[in-house]
């Protein structure tokens, strides 16, 4: 009897006792594991996640959670080679496994780095404050706080590692624990990674739980503080999205479904051009990577009708050279589907498509997998179809064969190509291969409404392009309509899916106290010691220095023009001011800012290491010769920084620079960033 996969629930590994589902090696057909089929106590898992995992994660700041992600990513990266032999049993080749394993770890690294874009608090202060009153005594701001529930991730079988980590990384950074429901056919690989995560002890207790078997009932106990995500078929996703508990409790539900993605060969990308060759290569790659089991794979190949013959010939030639077989054989370039059941599904879909469309190439007629048995493994060869009447034969736009299967579709004009893309009823991604930027613009503007992402590929971008099917952590992954209508990843956007936005209203002083971001007009804490003399730990939000004043002269303006080379007429030519908003020559805005720096800077050596940059700056009132300016210089926000080996321990301090005139009215407002040394160098 094969081994039974354990589930990780409520802080312990639990071995199921009955109602098993068998897992098979996709290459050999051998039974390798069994997983529990039903009867799981999801209510207890969710309760544990809320009470233990959520509590532990919410205590940490964004910076601390980001550092945990980085530490975990480094750990998994150091042991990732052990996952490759396990991945081969899913039918994935070495390059397929790299996308799944290294891609998942890379996504964790990417989200770990986003800690720098959030507040160094357990919550995040979003954007700028909103003025809600004439006198400025009443303002509003938005904060984002972690929801007080769990994130339940129902994943697909095609990416057992990346599919888990790309959802968990933003959730953990946001402060939410995760319950991973891995897909049964490949959950043995997810299990191997989760076991190493748990054994590492890097994550706080309750941050991660795992279900390897059936997830029936896993969404029945969620409420509005929880989040549910789903990746898989559109039909299954729709059923889950309509569950009574999801609707009744307004549970946020993010769905990313398989879609009929398209790639378009541009009208000017004739045979013989680099774009034509790139197009054929990209289609072949997207048909065969992961044996075509990618939610972003190219299912519809849109080709100008005059190039159809050339594309057919070139693509068939490349598909005929594809070496199919056991991924452990180094000559193999395409492995197998994940299971014999999936083989039956894909074969059935091909038969349905072939009822309306011509089967141009069917490699299964000569399939002889290297080091594999096609009667036992889930091997399948690429299939290429041709739909001569795409506006009549609609199955191409409705039926997805989730394998190495795609259909060539002719088109006449770019408008027609856009219309055909729309017929897929919403896609995760489309691409166009063209060297004509006007053509690219026409396609993007026409097709963007029906796609979550669009790749424009040409000879200049090809060297570094990640390709049609590659999902990048900093770009959104999702799409409208059939694709599910949801979004994942997208950098900071992906984290915000797990946060609750709340508007805060009050005086600037109160909002400052709540957010720990100093607001203009808040009551300052006048510091007897200049902030530049204080270490990072000693600085407090609101610490303020009121500088001495300076009266601006004509000589200031002339000298600054000479130094900077900025001789704009408003500063230098009083005879040219008629019809402008200025009644006489005006000081340069950058002079005002530069002079402000001269007023607020404490020149002696101290904990301030350097000026790190200027985050924002506005010149709000003209400054004329004879006007007197001063500066209110306040600690606005503090941001933690990682201490690297052989570096000085330091943090980033934002200062609000409020430049005012003799009437007390602000003439310039800016936020500068400084790097400040820490007292504690441990």
Residue where the block lists tokens 């109602």: 19
- Residue 214 has a pLDDT of 82
SS3 label, residue 79: helix
Rounded mean pLDDT, 479-488? 90
Q: Which residues, 6 or more positions from 267, have their beta carbon under 8 angstroms from its beta carbon?
A: 304, 413, 414, 434, 436, 439
The domain that holds 401 is classified in CATH as 3.40.309.10
- Would you state the pLDDT for residue 238? 87
Strand partners, 427: 451
Report if residue 130 sits inside a domain.
no
> Do 250 and 307 reside in the same domain of the chain?
no
Domain match, 266 and 253 both? no
CA 322 to chain CA centroid, Å, is: 33
Cα gap 595→598, rounded to integer Å: 5
- Residue 38 confidence (pLDDT): 65
Residue 2 is predicted with a pLDDT of: 77
**For 370-380, what is the mean pLDDT?**
92
The band of 607, judged by pLDDT with boundaries at 50, 70 and 90, is very high
Cα–Cα distance, 152 to 170 (Å, whole number): 13
CATH of the domain at 77: 3.40.605.10
Phi, psi of 241 (to 5 degrees): -65, -25
The CA distance from 175 to 194, in Å, is 19
507 lies in some domain:
no
Kindly state the average pLDDT of the residues 306-318: 96
Catalytic residue among 126, 166, 256, 488: 256
Per-residue tokens: 657: 């620079």
Q: Is residue 142 part of a domain?
A: no
pLDDT of 612 strictly over 90: no
Same domain, residue pair 667 and 574: yes
Residues 299 and 361 in one domain: yes
Give residue 20's pLDDT: 78
Q: What is the DSSP string of 611-634?
A: EEEEEEEEE-S---TT-EEEEEEE
E strand spans, 38-122: none
Of the residues 499, 533, 562, the one at which a domain ends = 499
pLDDT tens column, 562-572: 999 999 999 98
Phi, psi angles (nearest 5°) of residue 636:
-95, -45
Residue 317: count of CB within 10 angstroms of its CB? 12
Indicate if 256 belongs to the active site: yes
Per-residue pLDDT, 210: 95
Q: Is there a single domain that holds both residue 319 and residue 288?
A: yes
Q: Which residues contact 282 (CB under 8 A, 6 or more apart)?
A: 263, 298, 431, 433, 457, 467, 468
pLDDT band per the 50, 70, 90 thresholds, residue 102: very high
- The predicted pLDDT at position 37 comes to 62
pLDDT digits (tens, 9 = 90+) for 147-174: 999 999 999 989 999 999 999 999 999 9
| Mean pLDDT of all residues belonging to the chain | 93
Select from 391, 475, 462, 474 the least CA-distant residue to 433: 462
Please give the model's pTM, rounded to 2 decimal places: 0.91
Residue with tokens 């000026």: 611
- Residue 250 domain-assigned? yes
The answer as to whether 649 is a domain residue is: yes
User: Encoding tokens for residue 212?
Assistant: 């390897």
Find the Cα–Cα–Cα–Cα dihedral 598, 602, 606, 608, rounded to 10°.
-50
Q: Considering its fold, how many domains does the chain have in total? A: 3
Residues 251 and 267 in one domain: no
**Domain at 551, CATH number:** 3.10.129.10
Average pLDDT over residues 297-320: 96
Q: What is the mean pLDDT of residues 504-528?
A: 91
Let me know whether 312 and 234 are in one domain.
Answer: no
**Considering only CA atoms, which of 188, 191, 200 is closest in space to residue 69?**
200
Asked if pLDDT for residue 515 goes beyond 90, the answer is: yes
Q: Are residues 373 and 411 in the same domain?
A: yes
213 and 295 together in one domain? no
Reduced 3-state DSSP string for 470-481: CCCCCCEEEECH
Choose the catalytic residue: 166, 295, 356, 400: 295
* Contact present, 232 and 373 (Cβ < 8 Å): no
Q: Which pLDDT tens digit goes with each residue over 622-673?
A: 999 999 999 999 999 999 998 888 789 999 999 999 999 999 999 999 999 9
**Same-domain status, 291 and 320:** yes
Strands 3-4 and 666-677: unpaired
pLDDT for the residue 366: 87
Residue 542: inside a domain, yes or no? Answer: yes
Answer yes or no: are the C-beta atoms of 179 and 206 closer than 8 Å. Answer: no
pLDDT in tens, 406-453: 999 999 999 999 999 999 999 999 999 999 999 999 999 999 999 999
DSSP classification of residue 110? H
- Is the Cβ–Cβ distance between 172 and 65 less than 8 Å? yes
Residue 39 has a pLDDT of 67
Q: What is the mean pLDDT of residues 270-284?
A: 96
pLDDT at 662: 95
421 lies in which domain range?
261-476
In this structure, the answer to whether residues 275 and 249 fall within a common structural domain is no
Q: What is the pLDDT of residue 651?
A: 93
Percent of the residues in the chain that have a pLDDT greater than 90, as a whole number: 81
Is the same domain home to 358 and 393?
yes
For the cut 60, the answer to whether the pLDDT of residue 236 exceeds it is: yes
CB 666 within 8 A of CB 631: no
pLDDT digits (tens, 9 = 90+) for 15-72: 877 767 888 899 999 989 888 766 678 999 999 999 999 999 999 999 999 999 999 9
Whole-number Å distance between alpha carbons of 81 and 635? 47
Q: Is residue 133 part of a domain?
A: no
Judge whether 49 lies within some domain.
Answer: yes
């Amino acid at each position: 009897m094969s081994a039974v996969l354990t589930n990780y629930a409520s802080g312990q590994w639990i071995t199921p006792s009955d109602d098993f589902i068998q897992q098979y090696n996709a290459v050999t057909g051998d039974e390798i594991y069994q997983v529990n089929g039903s009867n799981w106590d999801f209510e207890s898992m969710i309760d544990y996640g809320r009470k233990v995992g959520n509590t532990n994660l919410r205590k940490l700041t964004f910076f601390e959670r980001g550092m945990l992600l980085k530490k975990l990513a480094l750990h998994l990266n150091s042991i990732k080679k052990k996952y490759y032999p396990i991945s081969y049993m899913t039918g994935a080749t070495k390059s397929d496994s790299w996308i799944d394993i290294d891609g998942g770890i890379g996504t964790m690294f990417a989200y770990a780095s986003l800690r720098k874009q959030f507040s160094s608090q357990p919550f995040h202060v979003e954007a700028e404050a909103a003025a809600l009153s004439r006198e400025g005594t009443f303002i509003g701001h938005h904060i984002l706080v972690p929801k007080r529930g769990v994130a339940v991730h129902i994943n697909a079988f095609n990416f057992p590692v990346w599919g888990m980590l790309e959802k968990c990384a933003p959730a953990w950074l946001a402060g939410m624990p995760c319950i991973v429901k891995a897909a049964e056919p490949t959950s043995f690989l997810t299990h191997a990674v989760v076991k190493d995560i748990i054994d590492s002890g890097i994550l706080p207790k309750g941050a991660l739980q795992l279900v390897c078997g059936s997830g029936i009932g896993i969404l029945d106990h969620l409420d509005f503080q929880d989040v549910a995500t789903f990746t898989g078929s559109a039909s299954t996703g729709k059923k889950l999205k309509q569950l009574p508990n999801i609707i009744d409790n307004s549970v946020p539900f993010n769905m990313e479904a398989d879609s009929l993605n398209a790639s378009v060969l541009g009208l000017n990308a004739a045979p013989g051009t680099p774009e034509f060759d790139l197009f054929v290569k990209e289609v072949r790659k997207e048909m065969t990577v992961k044996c075509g089991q990618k939610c972003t794979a190219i299912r519809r190949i849109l080709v100008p009708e005059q190039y159809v013959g050339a594309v057919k010939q070139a693509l068939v030639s490349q598909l005929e050279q594809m070496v199919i077989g056991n991924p452990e054989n180094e000559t193999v370039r395409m492995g197998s589907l994940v299971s014999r059941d999936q083989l039956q599904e894909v074969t059935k879909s091909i038969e349905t498509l072939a009822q309306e469309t011509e089967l141009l190439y069917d490699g299964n007629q000569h399939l002889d997998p290297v080091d594999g048995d096609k009667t036992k493994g889930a091997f399948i060869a690429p299939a290429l179809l041709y739909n001569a009447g795409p506006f009549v034969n609609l199955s191409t736009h409705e039926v997805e064969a989730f394998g190495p299967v795609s259909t060539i579709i002719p088109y006449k004009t770019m408008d027609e190509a856009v219309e055909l893309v729309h017929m897929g009823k919403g896609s995760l991604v489309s691409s166009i291969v063209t060297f004509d930027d006007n053509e690219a613009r026409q396609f993007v503007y026409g097709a963007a409404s029906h796609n979550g992402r669009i790749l424009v590929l040409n000879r200049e971008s090809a060297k570094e392009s990640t390709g049609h099917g590659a999902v990048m952590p900093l770009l959104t992954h999702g799409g409208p309509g059939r694709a599910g209508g949801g979004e994942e990843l997208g950098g900071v956007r992906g984290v915000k899916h797990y946060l609750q936005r709340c508007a805060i209203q009050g005086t600037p002083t109160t909002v400052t106290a709540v957010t720990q971001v100093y607001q203009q007009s808040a009551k300052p804490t006048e510091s007897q010691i200049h902030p530049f003399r204080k270490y990072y730990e000693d600085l407090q939000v609101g610490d303020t220095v009121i500088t001495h004043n300076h009266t601006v002269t004509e000589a200031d303006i002339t000298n600054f023009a000479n130094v900077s080379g900025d001789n704009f007429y408003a500063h230098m030519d009083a005879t040219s001011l008629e019809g402008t908003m200025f009644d006489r020559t005006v000081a340069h805005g950058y002079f005002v800012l530069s002079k402000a720096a001269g007023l607020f800077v404490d020149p002696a050596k101290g904990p301030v290491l350097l000026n790190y940059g200027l985050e924002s700056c506005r010149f709000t009132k003209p400054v004329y010769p004879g006007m007197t300016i001063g500066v209110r210089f306040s600690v606005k926000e503090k941001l933690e920084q990682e201490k690297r080996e052989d570096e000085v321990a330091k943090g980033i301090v934002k200062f609000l620079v409020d430049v005012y005139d003799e009437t007390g009215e602000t003439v310039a407002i800016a936020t500068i960033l400084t790097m400040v040394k820490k007292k504690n160098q441990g």
